Amino acid sequence: MLQRIILLMTLLMLVGISISLFISPEIFNKPNSIFDILRAGMRNIPAWFGAIAGIFGSTLLSYFYALDKQKRDDLKKEHEKNIESASKILITIAGCIEQLKSIKHVYMRKIENQTSIQRSFRSMNLVYGELTAVSIDAASLSFLVKPKEKIVFHFTASNPVFIQIAIGQYNDILALMKEKKAMSDRLITTLYESKIGASQSYNISFEPSYFFGKKTFHDIINFIRLSECFFKTVDESIDTLSSIAMDLSREMKLYVKEHNFTEKFLSYENESHIFTRPPKIDVEREIEALVNRCMYRGDNFDIENWPIFTASTLK
């Protein structure tokens, strides 16, 4: 704005100087007003000078108009790019949440309301195939950062770093699930090959005390810890991603409204049931109790609803 004012003042000075060139000295010597002097000077301006001045003026106006239009177009493109980036990220986050919901639905249906570490063996395999890790460009949401806010809250769309970390946690869950499946397959193979487990119909039971002091017992304990960590991490990731998705949707609706766009941004809402968590248990205390039972009594450790696997499924 300041540059335009300076340019306008310069042009007015040039116009004044140009008019003065066509004013004869005799007019200055007479007692005429400034307006009379200007009128006399303008009458003496030749036609060709007016044509040149008109061309110059129209060119200058066109230049200013082109600058304004370019600025508006660039700003519009920037806003459209921001909306597109936010839409892609929201769709990715929503996809992650839906994937976690499907996984949680499988193991919640299997473990039900179990409050024992035995529930880990009810959810040996959760999905078929391997899920692909996701990635986002969290830096593209930097336009939502509010510079005036001294504190950046974690569960908000104005914190791109935390959003990137939340996606990283989702990818960690996929890696955790892959590790859980590999450990599950090894345990199933060991139990069948040991011929210690007793199986009837679709149920199987085994006695952990038989494996006490062996590597398999160590694997059983690790599988329990891994499964309980998996349940907890899935719930935390659902909470975090859901909060980010809802806040991003809300922030972008305000962004669209603030800049008077006609486009509508995606809405995101979550069902309340996905936040239901499995009963909380003290894993380490339960493991300690299991070790004590194996050391002193060797009580049976029954596992229900564990499908019998054929040899082909263990490959």
pLDDT digits (tens, 9 = 90+) for 38-87: 555 555 555 555 556 666 667 766 766 777 777 776 777 888 888 888 98
**Could you tell me the pLDDT band of residue 310, with boundaries at 50, 70 and 90?**
very low
Identity of the amino acid at 17? I
Whether residues 177 and 35 fall in one domain: no
Those residues with Cβ within 8 angstroms of residue 131's Cβ, 6 or more apart along the chain or in another chain:
99, 174, 177
**The two three-digit tokens of residue 29, written as one number:** 């010597």
Whether residues 138 and 186 fall in one domain: yes
Whether residues 95 and 233 fall in one domain: yes
179 vs 67: which has the higher pLDDT? 179
Could you give the CA distance from residue 254 to residue 241 in angstroms, rounded to a whole number?
20
Whether residues 45 and 13 fall in one domain: yes
Domain count for the chain: 2
pLDDT of 133: 92
Whether residues 244 and 277 fall in one domain: yes
Q: Which of 159-163, 204-208, 237-241, 293-297 has the lowest mean pLDDT?
A: 204-208
- Of 24, 43, 67, at which residue does a domain stop? 67
Whether residues 13 and 89 fall in one domain: no
This prediction's pTM: 0.71
Q: Which domain holds residue 53?
A: 1-67
Whether residues 37 and 129 fall in one domain: no
**Could you tell me the pLDDT band of residue 14, with boundaries at 50, 70 and 90?**
low
**Mind listing the pLDDT tens digit for each residue in 243-289?**
899 889 888 888 888 877 766 666 777 766 667 888 888 989 988 88
Residue 167 has pLDDT above 90, yes or no: yes
Whether residues 101 and 147 fall in one domain: yes
**Could you tell me the pLDDT band of residue 99, with boundaries at 50, 70 and 90?**
very high
